[in-house]
Amino acid sequence: MSLTQVIKDEGLDKDNKPLLIWKSPIEDFNTGSQLIVHESQEAVFFMNGQALDLFGPGRYTLETQNMPLLSKFFNKATGGETPYHCEIYFVNKTEQMAIKWGTDSQVQYMEPEYKFPLNIGASGEMTLSVADSRKLLVKVVGTEDKFTQEDLVRKFKAFLMVKVKPYLAKTMQEAKFSIFEIDSHMGELSEELHKELIEDFKDYGLNLDRFFVTTIAKPDGDEAYEKFKELHLRNYSDVAEATLRQKVGIIDQETEKQKTIIEAEAAAEKRKIEGYTYEQERSYNIGEKLAENEGVGEFSNMGVGLGMMTGVAGTLGNTVGETIGKTVEPMKQDNEKEDDEMVAFKKKLDKLKIMKENGIITEEEYEQEKKKLLENL
């Protein structure tokens, strides 16, 4: 055997991809041998079964100067040849992605919203990377010459189930959402389980970089589950319907409001074009209303004539006067036919009330005219 050798990672899996861990077949090498470590790798130097030194990416000459833990073992009297058993393991530190996981049996917990016992299963993916090469080799790999991602998953399958199932039950039971809403909360569930599992993987020298729950296996067909599922959907639909009705009501109110505003703006524009105000239009309408009532001809006897109407209606006073004038004579003839003075009195009093309520006469004028009516009985 030559005094110096070149040691580098040459381990590939069946798909010609780098192995997660590979042990070099070159053993018991002497000082002065060359070690080549690629990017994203770490080399661990073992002597007599002990992991002594770590080497990051680069080229190294294996001498006691760059192996401080090794120096005390070398005996200079051997002329650089070590009498000890030496080994080199190469560890791939890239992320091991798309590692599948799944519960091997159902997880039971108490559903937090409806309070009934429930059995579920779960599955997903995770991403791992090596955090501590020495710890991983000692605790997991042992003396194996090579170690693939599949080997890692196989080793951790039982461990993962022991840890995931109680964490899953605890997380689901403490959740603020029900089993019937779980599909929209997968992100939250994944984050919670990820936080719970990080420290457990660190104990084996691994980083749990990502952890995803992608599927929750619900107990479809179970009598209790189906009963509460129907109740949940009914409650949801009732709330949704009520919310929709409320929104439609608001839209209708807003539509009616806009319609009123548009009509008011159109009426204002019409008055502006025709040259009169809202107050004048209102007075004209009141005049028409009064003219339509029986006994309006008696206004002349009550001191409420066209002059008062003109004062209220402004430029429309003449129009109101003409309207009343056209109805005075026929109504007088009708009133003369009334035999009951109390009926006539009531009609006159009603007209006075209408004029007072619409601001045509004041309270004081109303009382004066009322007094006159009473005196004429």
Nearest to 188, CA basis, from 173, 175, 169: 175
Identify whether the C-beta of residue 208 lies closer than 8 Å to the C-beta of residue 201. Answer: yes
Q: How many CB atoms lie within 10 A of CB 231?
A: 12
| Cα–Cα dist 51/48, whole Å | 9
| Cα–Cα dist 72/185, whole Å | 57
| Cα–Cα dist 301/340, whole Å | 18
Burial class (CB in 10 A: 0-12, 13-18, 19+), 278: exposed
Q: What percent of the chain has pLDDT over 70?
A: 73
Identify whether the C-beta of residue 93 lies closer than 8 Å to the C-beta of residue 130. Answer: yes
* pLDDT the model gives residue 233: 81
Instruction: Mention every residue, 6+ apart, whose C-beta is less than 8 A from residue 80.
Output: 3, 30, 31, 32
Interval 180-211: pLDDT, tens: 999 999 999 999 999 999 999 999 999 999 99
What confidence category does residue 1 fall into, taking pLDDT thresholds of 50, 70 and 90?
A: very low
Its pTM stands at: 0.57
| Cα–Cα dist 129/209, whole Å | 7
pLDDT at 84 over 70: no
| Cα–Cα dist 31/72, whole Å | 13
Helices (H) and strands (E) in the chain, counts: 9, 12
Tokens of 55: 């080497």
Q: Which top CATH class is 96-219?
A: alpha beta
Question: In degrees rounded to 5, what are phi and psi of residue 142?
Answer: 70, -125
Interval 280-314: pLDDT, tens: 666 666 666 666 654 444 444 444 444 444 444 44
Tokens of 251: 């839209």
The length of the chain, given as a count of residues: 377
Interval 262-275: pLDDT, tens: 888 877 777 777 76
| Cα–Cα dist 312/366, whole Å | 16
The pLDDT mean for the chain works out to 79
* pLDDT the model gives residue 48: 83
* Domain regions of the chain by residue span: 6-92, 96-219, 223-274, 278-376
3-state secondary structure of 44: strand
What are residue 18's DSSP bridge partners? Answer: 12
3-state secondary structure of 208: strand
Query: C-alpha dihedral over 324, 329, 332, 334, to 10 degrees?
Result: -110
CA distances from 100 to 56, 146, 207 (A): 29, 21, 16
